[in-house]
Copies of this chain bind each other. A is one copy, B any other.
């Protein structure tokens, strides 16, 4: 790599570096036609391409943002990233993606490194374990938006699902179809992650509103690896639930594994609704009734919020919460 710089172009075109810089930044207001042509030619001949790092240093903007997801292997994260990337691409921004694995230590490391790399802003699925750091970010007026989760007392704009509504939709659908022994299975609640908490709250609430009584033995949560036992326990109750809401796609997977293994017939033996639409929902047997999150719109909104914030750096932006509507995909499992 030869590394041709603006100085080379200037010399070749016989103008000053300033003029070349003006040209590159499309400020031709006062530039002579011949000068323009000469510079164009020089760039062409030399195969010059500007060093954006140098520009970034001076301009204090890298046109890059960081995106910290819990785990890119989760379909929801993937869709969110894709939407963010598309939006950023339009705006000539790039995204650095990081997996925090819901680990506050990794999250902190990433946020620190990303800031050291001078990214213009960050979109993160916050772990909740770095409150002091979030506060620092706010103090610094650093552009950041939260995705999927809120952190108590942290005033950072957030994009997330109307999680209560999602559960309510599910319960309502179960009730409408005549189920009344409704259970719910969730992953670990240790970290108090927003969507889980809210979906549970929404579930309990909906149960009450439909004049059913909340049966604690119809509610269970567990780390994914142990969840088969939890399912087993619930379904082997003397009077087991006739319907189960899976808090997310990973729980749904586990229930499906269980029902296949034990030849449980869906929906006759057990009705099922999962939050998160899954790739195979429509051609599974039975087709799976799910509640989808508008992941692309959510990702787009987050990107939009962040880029606006970046562009109006000065204004101390208002904190905004954007709730997105879940959507029932009524198929055959309920």
Do A260 and B280 touch (CB < 8 A)?
A: no
Closest A-B pairs by Cβ, 8 of them: A257-B283, A256-B283, A1-B140, A260-B283, A280-B280, A53-B118, A52-B116, A52-B117
Mask, A273-285, CB within 8 Å of B = 1, is 0000011101111
Query: For chain A, which range describes its interface: under 10, 10 to 19, 20 to 34, or 35 or more residues?
Result: 35 or more
Closest to A96 in B: B94
Mask, A75-104, CB within 8 Å of B = 1, is 000110110011001001011111100000
Mask, A49-61, CB within 8 Å of B = 1, is 1111110110000
Do B78 and A82 touch (CB < 8 A)?
A: no
Do A81 and B85 touch (CB < 8 A)?
A: no
Do B53 and A57 touch (CB < 8 A)?
A: yes
Q: For residues 247 through 294 of chain A, which have their beta carbon under 8 Å from a beta carbon of chain B?
A: 253, 256-257, 260, 278-280, 282-285, 287
CB of A167 closer than 8 Å to a CB of B: no
Other-chain contact of A97, B53, B97, B260, B279 (Cβ < 8 Å)? B97
CB of A157 closer than 8 Å to a CB of B: no
What is the bound-complex CA distance between A297 and B56, given in angstroms?
35
Other-chain contact of A96, B95, B113, B260, B278 (Cβ < 8 Å)? B95
Which residues of chain B come closer than 8 Å to A118, judged between CB atoms? 51-53
What is the bound-complex CA distance between A50 and B253, given in angstroms?
45
Which residues of chain B come closer than 8 Å to A11, judged between CB atoms? none
A73, A86, A280, A282 — most chain B CB neighbours (10 Å)? A280
Closest to A71 in B: B82
What is the bound-complex CA distance between A23 and B260, given in angstroms?
61
Do A51 and B97 touch (CB < 8 A)?
A: no
CB of A175 closer than 8 Å to a CB of B: no
CB of A142 closer than 8 Å to a CB of B: yes
CB of A181 closer than 8 Å to a CB of B: no
Q: A94-B96, A257-B282 are known contacts; what are 13 more A-B pairs with Cβ within 8 Å?
A: A49-B116, A51-B57, A51-B118, A53-B117, A53-B118, A81-B97, A94-B117, A96-B96, A256-B283, A257-B283, A278-B280, A279-B280, A284-B284
Do B283 and A253 touch (CB < 8 A)?
A: yes
Which residues of chain B come closer than 8 Å to A56, judged between CB atoms? 53
Do A73 and B64 touch (CB < 8 A)?
A: no
Which residues of chain B come closer than 8 Å to A62, judged between CB atoms? 53, 117
CB of A141 closer than 8 Å to a CB of B: yes
> What are 24 pairs between A and B in contact, CB < 8 Å?
A49-B112, A51-B118, A52-B116, A52-B118, A53-B56, A53-B57, A53-B117, A72-B82, A81-B97, A82-B99, A85-B97, A94-B113, A94-B117, A95-B96, A96-B96, A96-B97, A256-B283, A257-B282, A257-B283, A260-B285, A278-B280, A279-B279, A280-B284, A284-B284
